[in-house]
């Protein structure tokens, strides 16, 4: 092992100059390369002590007794510094600015209310105590957990910490505990809403026919619209969608004429297609009130802007659309979201489906023709002339002894009679 301190020297104009500050050199057992470190002191004894401490720390790192130097530095750094680096990395990797804003807001709230200043302060117990005091919806609490976990997982991947201290914290159960329940609009409610919407009519039609979210609608550009195609469609850019995938959405005939009017009235320099028509929450509630639609009904179900997306999923189910196709139209990654979360079961024709079930009590009459065909298939030798000459006479079943023929003759006779039976059935 090598461990020594020194001061750099250089020759200038024939004179040797010695540096004021000491540096150290060391090489541990099993290493091939000598490492040099600055010691930041002009005192020889202090420099020697600092180098020995560095070597002891490296030896303890090798044995796994203490974290590595970068991890020890990270443990002592403020969490806000780590958060700043994480957000910068999210921006560099192209994450949506709205997502970055929400993550930043939620993490800063946790740091403030849980009193987390450095990494040593972050524990599962402190998070569980904070969560137990909250009156937020289960879904919101899970979003807070996801935000702080994303930061800690990022730090683990970049070797700033050994492991995520919240790794084993479970999510809150959300089934049956939704605070904000949504419902779909009925056909009558949609008709009344469109009637009072004025210039916002095209917005509501777009939402209920395409399933585009509020943010996605506001980011549509003039160039995204293709009304000149044989089947008019709109191309939603990947940078504006929630799943970051491009979407090609066919336009309903009700939409085409409305969008043509919007284009005709759109200023030449305006690039955004619908941003100037998007209603605020106050405006949307005013439209609901004018249409005599309850924002929250007796079942505590909301009819907000996102309910228009629920309406699309419900209307697809009512129209008998295949669940797999409906999932693609809704742009969901899980078919359960389409069939359970977004489809309003209260508007499905459940009663009609029960009424249309076949009766198990009423006995249906048996067709004589079917009985006759079964006799022919059994191989009985009844000619066409015999059946046509006794229209009103009862059909006599031949005795079984008439079947006492060779196997080859039996097969041939049965085939011939079956074919003649099929010929008579088709006429």
3-state secondary structure of 226: strand
Taking only the tens place, the pLDDT of each residue in 204-240 is 999 999 999 999 999 999 999 999 999 999 999 998 8
Query: Domain boundary residue among 286, 316, 350?
Result: 350
259 contacts 220 by C-beta, under 8 angstroms: no
403 pLDDT higher than 90: no
pLDDT tens, residue by residue, 64-74: 665 666 666 67
In a domain, 404, yes or no: no
Mean pLDDT of the chain: 84
Q: Rounded distance, CA 73 to CA 65, Å?
A: 16
Residue-wise pLDDT tens digits, 119-171: 889 999 999 999 999 988 888 999 999 999 999 999 899 888 888 999 999 99
Residue 374 pLDDT: 47
Range of the domain at 19: 2-66
Q: Is the domain of 193 the same as that of 304?
A: yes
One domain, residues 60 and 10: yes
pLDDT value, residue 369: 54
* Shared-domain flag, residues 152 and 47: no
* Residues 187 and 308 reside in one and the same domain: yes
Residues 150 and 102 in one domain: yes
User: What is the per-residue pLDDT for 70?
Assistant: 66
Tens digits of per-residue pLDDT, 236-293? 999 889 888 999 999 999 999 999 999 999 998 999 999 999 999 999 999 999 999 9
Which string of DSSP letters, residue by residue, matches 274-299? SGGGPPPHHHHHHHHHHTT--SB-TT
306 within some domain: yes
The domain tally of the chain equals 3
Give tens-digit pLDDT for 78-104: 999 999 999 999 999 988 888 899 999
Q: Could you tell me if residue 95 is inside a domain?
A: yes
Q: Is 301 helix (H, G, I), strand (E, B) or coil?
A: strand
Band (197; pLDDT cuts 50, 70, 90): very high
Say how many Å lie between the first and final Cα of the chain, rounded. 105
pLDDT digits (tens, 9 = 90+) for 350-378: 888 889 888 888 766 665 555 544 444 44
Q: How confident is the model at residue 174 (pLDDT cuts 50, 70, 90)?
A: confident
Give the span between the Cα atoms of 411 and 422, in whole angstroms: 16
CA nearest 211: which of 98, 337, 101?
Answer: 337
Same domain as 280, residue 139: no
> Mean pLDDT across the stretch 305-318?
95
pLDDT of residue 368: 54
Is position 245 within any domain?
Answer: yes
Residue 212 has a pLDDT of 96
Listed residue (231, 207, 236, 202) closest to 219, CA to CA: 236
For residues 348 and 315, give the distance between their C-alpha atoms in angstroms, rounded to a whole number.
9
**Same domain, yes or no: 192 and 147:** no
CATH number of the domain to which 213 belongs: 1.10.443.10
pLDDT at 405: 44
Domain assignment of residue 411, yes or no = no
d(CA 183, CA 300): 10
Residue 188 has pLDDT above 80, yes or no: yes
């Amino acid at each position: 092992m090598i461990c020594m301190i020194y001061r750099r020297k250089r020759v200038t104009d024939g004179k040797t100059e010695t540096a004021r500050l000491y540096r150290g050199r060391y090489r541990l057992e099993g290493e091939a390369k000598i490492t040099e470190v600055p010691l930041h002191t002009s005192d020889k004894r202090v420099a020697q002590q600092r180098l020995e401490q560095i070597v002891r720390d490296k030896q303890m790192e090798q044995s796994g007794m203490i974290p590595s130097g970068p991890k020890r530095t990270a443990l002592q750094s403020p969490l806000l510094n780590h958060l700043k680096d994480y957000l910068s990395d999210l921006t560099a990797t192209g994450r949506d600015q709205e997502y970055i804003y929400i993550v930043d807001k939620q993490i800063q709230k946790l740091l403030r209310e849980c009193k987390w200043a450095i990494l040593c302060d972050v524990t599962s117990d402190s998070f569980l105590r904070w969560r137990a005091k909250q009156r937020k919806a289960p879904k919101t609490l899970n979003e807070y957990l996801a935000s702080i976990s994303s930061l800690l997982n990022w730090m683990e991947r970049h070797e700033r910490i050994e492991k995520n201290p919240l790794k084993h914290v479970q999510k809150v159960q959300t089934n049956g505990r939704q605070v904000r329940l949504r419902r779909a609009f009925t056909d009558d409610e949609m008709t009344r809403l469109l009637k009072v919407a004025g210039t916002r009519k095209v917005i509501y039609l777009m939402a209920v026919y395409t399933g585009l979210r509020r943010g996605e609608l506001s980011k549509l550009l003039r160039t995204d619209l293709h009304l000149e195609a044989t089947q008019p469609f709109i191309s939603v850019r990947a940078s504006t969608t929630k799943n970051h995938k491009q979407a090609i959405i066919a336009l309903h005939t009700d939409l085409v004429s409305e969008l043509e009017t919007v284009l005709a009235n759109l200023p030449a320099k305006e690039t955004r297609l619908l941003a100037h028509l998007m209603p605020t929450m106050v405006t949307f509630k005013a439209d609901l009130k004018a249409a005599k639609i309850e924002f929250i009904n007796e079942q505590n179900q909301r009819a907000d802007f996102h309910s228009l997306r629920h309406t699309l999923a419900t209307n697809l189910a009512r129209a008998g659309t295949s669940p797999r196709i409906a999932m693609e139209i809704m742009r969901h990654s899980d078919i359960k979201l389409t069939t359970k979360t977004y489809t309003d079961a209260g508007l499905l024709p459940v009663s009609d489906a029960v009424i249309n079930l076949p009766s198990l009590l009423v006995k249906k009459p048996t067709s004589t023709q079917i009985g006759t065909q079964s006799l022919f298939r059994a191989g009985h030798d009844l000619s066409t002339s015999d059946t046509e000459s006794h229209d009103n006479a009862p059909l006599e079943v031949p005795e079984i002894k008439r079947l006492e023929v060779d196997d080859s003759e039996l097969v041939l006779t049965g085939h011939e009679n079956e074919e003649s039976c099929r010929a008579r059935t088709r006429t």
